[in-house]
Amino acid sequence: MLIVENEYDCEFHYEGTNHPPIFSHAPESTLLLNTFAKAISPSLRLGFIVAPAEAAAAMLALVERERTHVSWPVQRIVETLLVSGELDRHLRRVRRHYGAMRDAIRERLADYAEAVTLAGDEGGLHVVIAGRDGAFDRALRAALRSNGVVFNEVADFTTSESDPSGFLLGYGHMDSEALARSLDLLEASIKRAKRQHRRLA
């Protein structure tokens, strides 16, 4: 059996146990996939696969035959970042940066804990925000839309027959000022949703 493991968001883990990949326990039967999209930039369009020798050779032959590899200068630049240790230093810097942004989200939403929940903040570059009950969740999403906010709903990412609540707040593309403005808008939308929710109660 061959295991295909997508180690998504492993670079950004803020609390709890960051478990090692399956590959570390079963390197002879695992293909470990990842990209540099979060660590550096999605515009690189560069990923990597760590694989057993036989599988690696087969994939290398396929890439060479199909000519699907990323440009040589991009590969050499990323290789330099890896070999020099600069990528590790960069990751430590951005991990602190995004950890601080995640903490800012938690602090701002702490005052509204009776109305909204926050999930998925142990790692990654987004969190899930949801109303504590279905009616308030719908009111919050409506308030955000009325303020011109476009967002992805949790329901867009599931095949469940139930209607999961919540939406995603991604902060990987933001600086601290942009996040503060976004949280101001979110806070105003929560207050608006609470007023509407009280009128309907």
Residue ranges per domain, the chain?
A: 3-84, 89-200
Residue 144 has pLDDT above 80, yes or no: yes
CATH code reported for the domain at 3-84: 3.40.640.10
Task: Please count the residues of the chain.
Answer: 201
CATH code reported for the domain at 89-200: 3.90.1150.10
Side-chain half-sphere exposure of 30, counting CA atoms within 13 A:
14
CA distance linking residue 20 with residue 7, whole number of Å? 10
DSSP summary character for residue 115: T
Average pLDDT, the chain: 89
Is 0.85 topped by the overall pTM? no
Residue pLDDT, tens place only, 25-69 = 999 999 999 988 888 888 888 888 999 999 999 988 988 898 877
Residue pLDDT, tens place only, 3-33 = 999 987 678 888 777 778 888 899 999 999 9
Across the chain, the runs of DSSP E, i.e. the strands, are 3-6, 30-35, 47-50, 116-119, 126-131, 167-170
Residue 6 is encoded by which pair of tokens? Answer: 């997508």
Q: Do domains 3-84 and 89-200 have the same CATH topology?
A: no
Helix (H, G, I), strand (E, B) or coil at 128: strand
